[in-house]
Amino acid sequence: MKVIQSSKNPVVKQWKKLLTKKGREESHTYIVEGFHLVEEALKQQDTVIELIFIEGTDLPGKWNLDGVDLIQVSEDAGKALADTETTQGVFAVCRQKDASDINGKKFLLLDGLQDPGNIGTIIRTAEASGIDGIILGKGTVDPYNPKVLRSAQGSHFHVPIIRGELAEIISVLKEKGIPVYGTALEGGEEYTSIKPRDSYALIVGNEGNGMSPDTLSQTDQNLYIPIYGKSESLNVAIAAGILLYYFKNGQ
Amino acid sequence: MKVIQSSKNPVVKQWKKLLTKKGREESHTYIVEGFHLVEEALKQQDTVIELIFIEGTDLPGKWNLDGVDLIQVSEDAGKALADTETTQGVFAVCRQKDASDINGKKFLLLDGLQDPGNIGTIIRTAEASGIDGIILGKGTVDPYNPKVLRSAQGSHFHVPIIRGELAEIISVLKEKGIPVYGTALEGGEEYTSIKPRDSYALIVGNEGNGMSPDTLSQTDQNLYIPIYGKSESLNVAIAAGILLYYFKNGQ
C-alpha cells in the first residue's frame, strides 16, 4: 500500500486530470467515486487499476483487491478528487473499454446527446435491455463524465461503452448484416412497423435537434414513436427505453 | 389592466403563497412562468385566471387574453414570483383541475414518487401515450411544484392531474370495470403476459422503494419489466414509458 500525504503530490495532480475529458481521453482511464460504484468496478476483471481511499475510511472486507494498487491519501488529497460535496472517501481509477471489447449483435449509438443525466439513464436502460455495446458519436458528452457515471449507477461496468466515428461504425455494422435503425420525429416509419429482432443497431439523437441529417441518411430505416396526446415530443431517454424494450419483447 | 408597483403589495404576497404547496392547495390554483408554459396555458379554456408580466415585457400579439385579468408588475415584484434565476418576466395564475375534470378509461396513478424531474417526465410521457387522467397519491410530490411544471413542458394543460387517496380511487376504478395494474420489482407477472388494452389504470411507485405494500395489495394484477442485463432496476420514468406504450401498442 502506498501513502500520499498531500494534495500537492504529483500523483494527485495526475488523478485530477481524470476529472477533465482531455485527461480521461489521453490516459484512457477514468475515476469513479463512492462505495457502490467502486464495488461494481471491482467485480469486473481487468477494470480497476488503482483503489484510492482517504485515511480512516473502512474498506469492506469482501472486496477483492488482487492486482489492484491500494493507495491511502490524506483528507485534502481525497477531497481534491471528489466530484460530490460530501465524498465517501473511496475512489477507483479504471481502464476504459475499447473497440476490441465490443462483440455481439445488439448496439445502441448516441448521436450528439448533451445531457449527462439523459446519457446515464440511457446507458442504464440499454444495459438492462440486454444491449451488447454502446457507441457515442463525437458530438456526445463524454460517457466517463462523473455525472454520467453517477446516473448510470454502475452500468458502465456491465456493457462496453466506446467513443467512435458514427459513419465508420455504421458501415461496419452494415457489412456485418446488422440492420441500423435511426429515430426521427418526422419521416420514417412507426416503430411498430418492424418486428422485434435479436440483431440491430438503434441510434438516438440530440435532445433538441434529434439525429444529424448526415447520420439519418446512413441508416437502413428511420423509426418514430407516435404521440397520441398533445406533447411535442418524448424525452430521448424515454424514447430509447420504449424502443429498446420493443426490440426485445416486441409486438 | 391593473398595475402593481411594489413587491410589498398584498396581491404579490398572495401570489407568493403559490410558490408553496400549502398555498397552492388552499387556493386550488398554481403559477407557471415563461413564454412557453404561459402560451400553452392560454390555449386551454377556463385555465388562466391572471396573466402577470413585468413592465417592459412584450406579450405576443397572437395570445388570446379574453376573460384573463392582465396585471403589469414592477421588476422587483416580478422577480419575487420567479422560480428561475433569469425570469422571462411573464407568469400565469392557473386553476387546478379537479376530479370532475377526469373522464375516460386510461389512467396513471403515482404512489409515493419524490423526484420532481421524474414526475414531470412521467406526466409528459403519459400525456403523449394518450392517457385520460393522472392521479397522485398523498405521498407523491405536488404536481404543481415549479420543477414538475417545467419538466412536464406544458402537459399539465393537456391532461387532468389531480391528487387523491389511492385506495378510494382504486375502488372507484374497479367498480367501473377498469383493470388496475400495479408494478413491482419482484412478484407479479411479466408485463408482456397481458395484452394491450384501451382500458386500464397503471400504478408506478416510489423511486427507491416502489409501490407501498398497501396499494400493491389492492390491484387486480402486478407487473414487472424483466432486466436482461445486470442493472438492479430501471428508472421509474423509463419503466412508466415502456409500460404505457406497451399498453397502447402492445405485443
Percent of chain A with pLDDT over 90: 84
CB count in 10 Å sphere of residue B55: 14
pLDDT at A250 over 70: no
Mean pLDDT for chain B?
Answer: 93
B47 touches chain A (CB under 8 A): no
- Sign, Cα dihedral of B172, B22, B81, B237: negative
> What pLDDT score does B250 carry?
63
Q: How far is CA A162 from the centre of its chain?
A: 8
A66 touches chain B (CB under 8 A): no
User: How do residues B74-95 score in pLDDT, each as one tens digit?
Assistant: 999 999 999 888 899 999 999 9
Contacts of A251 in chain B (CB under 8 A): 249-251
User: How do residues A40-77 score in pLDDT, each as one tens digit?
Assistant: 999 988 899 999 999 999 999 999 999 899 999 999 99
A128/chain B closest Cα distance in angstroms: 4
| 8 Å CB contact of A235 and B230 | no
What is the pTM assigned to this prediction?
0.90
Contacts of B225 in chain A (CB under 8 A): 245
A227: left (phi over 0), alpha (psi -120 to 50) or beta: beta
| 8 Å CB contact of A237 and B235 | yes
Specify whether the CB–CB gap between A222 and A183 falls below 8 A: yes
Segment B41-49 shows an average pLDDT of 92
Contacts of A239 in chain B (CB under 8 A): 241
| 8 Å CB contact of A128 and B234 | yes
> What pLDDT score does B149 carry?
94
CA distance A143 to A159: 12
User: How do residues A11-27 score in pLDDT, each as one tens digit?
Assistant: 999 999 999 999 999 99
CA distance A179 to A146: 32
B235 touches chain A (CB under 8 A): yes
Segment B10-25 shows an average pLDDT of 94
Specify whether the CB–CB gap between A30 and A94 falls below 8 A: yes
Least-confidence region, from A97-101, A141-145, B171-175, B199-203: A97-101
What nine digits make up the cell of B106? 386510461
Specify whether the CB–CB gap between B236 and B122 falls below 8 A: yes
CA distance B182 to B235: 16
Q: Which of B99, B85, B80 is nearest to B28 (CA)?
A: B99
| 8 Å CB contact of B128 and A231 | yes
What nine digits make up the cell of B59? 406579450
A80/chain B closest Cα distance in angstroms: 29
Q: Which of A116, A115, A108 is nearest to A134 (CA)?
A: A108
In chain A, ranges of CATH 3.40.1280.10 domains = 106-249
Which chain A residue has the Cα nearest residue B156? A231
CB count in 10 Å sphere of residue A249: 19
pLDDT at B98 over 90: no
B242/chain A closest Cα distance in angstroms: 5
> What pLDDT score does A54 carry?
96
In chain B, ranges of CATH 3.30.1330.30 domains = 2-95
Q: CA-based Rg of chain B, rounded to a whole angstrom?
A: 20
Which chain A residue has the Cα nearest residue B227? A128
Banded pLDDT at A34 (limits 50, 70, 90): very high
Tell me which of 3.90.1150.10, 3.40.1280.10, 3.20.20.80, 3.40.50.300 is the CATH number of domain A106-249: 3.40.1280.10
> What pLDDT score does B251 carry?
44
The stretches of chain A forming alpha helices (DSSP H) are: 10-17, 21-27, 35-42, 75-81, 116-128, 146-152, 166-175, 213-216, 236-249
A246 touches chain B (CB under 8 A): yes
Segment A213-230 shows an average pLDDT of 95
The highest-level CATH class for domain A2-95 is alpha beta
Mean pLDDT for chain A?
Answer: 93
Contacts of A192 in chain B (CB under 8 A): 249
| 8 Å CB contact of B249 and A248 | no
A192 touches chain B (CB under 8 A): yes
| 8 Å CB contact of A251 and B248 | no
User: How do residues B161-192 score in pLDDT, each as one tens digit?
Assistant: 999 999 999 999 999 999 999 999 777 999 99
CB count in 10 Å sphere of residue A153: 19
User: How do residues A169-202 score in pLDDT, each as one tens digit?
Assistant: 999 999 999 999 999 977 789 999 998 888 999 9
> What pLDDT score does A251 carry?
43
Banded pLDDT at B240 (limits 50, 70, 90): very high
Residue among B229, B238, B249 minimizing CB distance to A237: B238
Percent of chain B with pLDDT over 70: 99
Residue among A131, A192, A227 minimizing CB distance to B249: A192
What nine digits make up the cell of A222? 428511420
Segment B96-116 shows an average pLDDT of 91
